Structure 1
Amino acid sequence: MTRIGDFDVLPLCLGGNVFGYTADRDASFAVLDAFHGGGGTFVDTADSYSAWAPGNSGGESETIIGQWLASRRPENAIVATKVSQHPDFPGLSAANVRAAAEASLGRLGVDRIDLYYAHFDDPETPLAETVQAFGDLVSDGLVRAVGVSNYSADRIREWMRLSREQGVAEPVAIQPHYNLVHRADVEEHIAPVAAEFALAVVPYFSLAKGFLTGKYRSADAAGQASPRAAAAVSYATPKGLALIDAMTQIADAHGTSVAAIALAWLRIQPTVAAPIASASRVDQVVGLLDGARVDLAGDEIAALSELSAGGVGSA
């Protein structure tokens, strides 16, 4: 288990971005059941998921998760959600943060959000106002803990300073884009500030939009049906494919999936608490859960780190 704020979770977070998008209600329930049945407790979503999909308006993922929570009443479930990108609740003004949180609580069917992230920085709203708004949600019992997503190191430090000045709850988690093929920003800038303030890093795009599952091994994969295929195959450079080959050998040695190896490498990086990975189908869940439990050997870790150093391409 790993610790984020005052709760313990398996060191893997199930991404809810696919619920109501590439996974309908029944498929989402099956994935959630398999994840929880395999020991998973931590689920990540956002109020904006999946407003981009035809026919959706935002909140679909939260609604499905809320229905699952009501149906299954799972023990120890921890749900994180985010604010700033829902079409009806854009930005991080105090009024918007409060209104969006109340809407998320309704969709999730809970009395308190376990972990509430500022999804993206809002340059139009004074940071002091946003910090106070999140602090008030904690004080009022609507939110258990606060996190920041897609914030620069400087802005995270400023948030910490303001929260201490205002005497409100400080963030406990950072959610950045981080994986084996996208390392530089987190390792150079975010990890140091996370270490400075003892913040848990909860990376998204842990599998590089599917590339680190080993599924996309040539540019020809761009024609596949997956919404992320075109982005994933931009990593299919000679260096990227050499990395996948090495991961495949390591996965075979451990009797697990390439995705599990990507997650196992990520979870042991400094300040990382629980990588986020999503699944649209039940058969994908076991490989993800393995990523929370597979222990890589020192030479395997070193080989993957060396092969991915400097990046392999960019999606």
Structure 2
Amino acid sequence: MSDATPSPLVLGAMMFGTTVDEATSFALLDRFVERGGVWIDTADCYAFWASADGRGGGSERVLGRWLAARPGVRARVRIATKLGAEPIEPGSWPARREGLSAAAVHDAFAGSLDRLGIDRVDLLWLHQEDRSVPIEETVEALAGLAADRFGVSNFPAWLVERGRAHARAIGATPFDALQLNASYLRPRPGTLPPGVVHRFGVLSDEQADHAAEHGMDVWAYTPLLSGAYDNPEKVIPEVYDHPGNTARLAALDAVAAETGAARGQVVLAWLLSRGLRPMLGGSKLHQLDAALDGVALQLTPRQLERLDEPDRYEWADPYAGR
């Protein structure tokens, strides 16, 4: 393993152990670390929808075997996993899933540590909200777990802050990270992009503002629209077809031409300029290399201004002069 400059890219291991075989998974993990990758993201439910038995755990098991086969690598990487979305029985998601009760949290986390073969994780995510359980109960369950940090994925901002407030009240570690879908293009209001199955799964201006105000990390999943920015065999999903994105695509094409980079690489660099940490869930080495090159791309202030221009607006105080 080399001493490459640490990369801000997150390697998403969602399909490891199901549609991505173990040899390919190991090759991707090795290349990621060789090129300075640090954060690896998985979940206890990955990938139940693609597994032979309808259950998750395959991704964590592959990661556990890779960690065991690479002595010393654990000190070089940070492991993030999620809980709360594993179906109770095969085929029962989303009606019946493990959820976020205290008992479910403790059982799920113990299972994750066993599959990963480690005694601690660097970041533990709540995968999706569970309104059948008070967030206070979940926060109290997290307080005693062997995790350095806690984050939430696919939660509304108000519920995140309610959980953070309770953690502070009991002297526990508050959530300090969000994981949401985000890209350069924005979906039409009231729609969800393909693959986003949670009501609050797409990063909103309110969630972004909440995170910035409280110094929370934001991880962006599916930032490359599953390859649609650059793969001619894939079309940009219909939810992104609106006038605002016409201007964004024009700006993206112009900056990509100036830099000589692919559109997806420019998207990754732009996300970083916004303080968002992009996640890659690819299955091929060339995709990983391209993404690592993208997050290393340095855009000029003028290029960033051009990319941001479609989102600019002038705010007028309705009470000014009264």
Q: Same fold (TM over 0.5)?
A: yes
Higher helix share: 1
Secondary structure of the equivalent of 2:308?
A: helix
Alignment match, 1:180: 184
Q: Output the CA distance in 1 between the equivalents of 2:240 and 2:103.
A: 44
Q: How many residues align?
A: 284
Deviation at 1:91, TM superposition (A): 0.2
Instruction: Quickly say closer, same or farther: Cα 1:133–1:262, change in 2 above 3 A.
Output: same
- What is the match of residue 140 of structure 2? 132
Q: CA deviation at 1:178?
A: 1.3
2:147 to 127, 143, 159: 143
Is the partner of 1:22 in helix, strand or coil? Answer: coil
**How far did residue 134 of structure 1 move?**
1.0
Cα distance in 2 for residues equivalent to 1:78 and 1:54: 25
Distance 1:108 1:54, change over 3 A: closer
Which residue of structure 2 aligns with residue 108 of structure 1?
A: 116
Contact between 1:79 and 1:113, CA under 8 Å: does it hold in 2?
A: yes
Q: 1:248 Cα deviation (Å)?
A: 4.8
What is the DSSP-based 3-state SS (H/G/I as helix, E as strand, rest coil) of the residue aligned with 1:82? strand
> Cα–Cα, structure 1 residues 163 and 9, in superposed 2: closer, same or farther, change >3 Å?
farther
* CA distance, structure 2, for counterparts of residue 124 and residue 235 of structure 1: 31
CA 250–151 in structure 1, closer or farther in 2 if over 3 Å, else same: same
Q: Which residue of 2 aligns with 1:300?
A: 303
Aligned to 1:289: 292
Residue 253 (structure 1) shift: 3.8
Asked whether the equivalents of residues 224 and 267 of structure 2 are also in contact (C-alpha less than 8 Å), the reply is yes
Letter in 2 for 1:110: I
Native 8 Å contact 2:268 2:291 kept in 1: yes
Structure 2 residue aligned with 1:197, among 189, 211, 214? 214
AA matched with 2:48:
A
Contact (CA 8 Å) 2:7, 2:35: kept in 1 or not? no
Query: Does residue 62 of the first structure (1) align with residue 63 of the second (2)?
Result: no
When the two chains are superposed, the root-mean-square deviation of aligned CA atoms in Å is 2.5
8 A Cα contact 2:47 2:56, kept in partner: yes
In our comparison, the structure showing a higher alpha carbon Rg is 2
For structure 1, the 5+ residue unaligned runs are: 1-7, 223-231, 311-315
Letter in 2 for 1:60: G
Between the aligned residues of both structures, percent identity stands at 33
Letter in 2 for 1:166: I
Q: Distance in 2 between the 1:119 and 1:22 partners?
A: 21
| Unmatched tracts of structure 2, length 5 or more | 89-96, 190-201, 314-322
Higher RCO structure (Cα 8 Å, ≥6 apart): 1
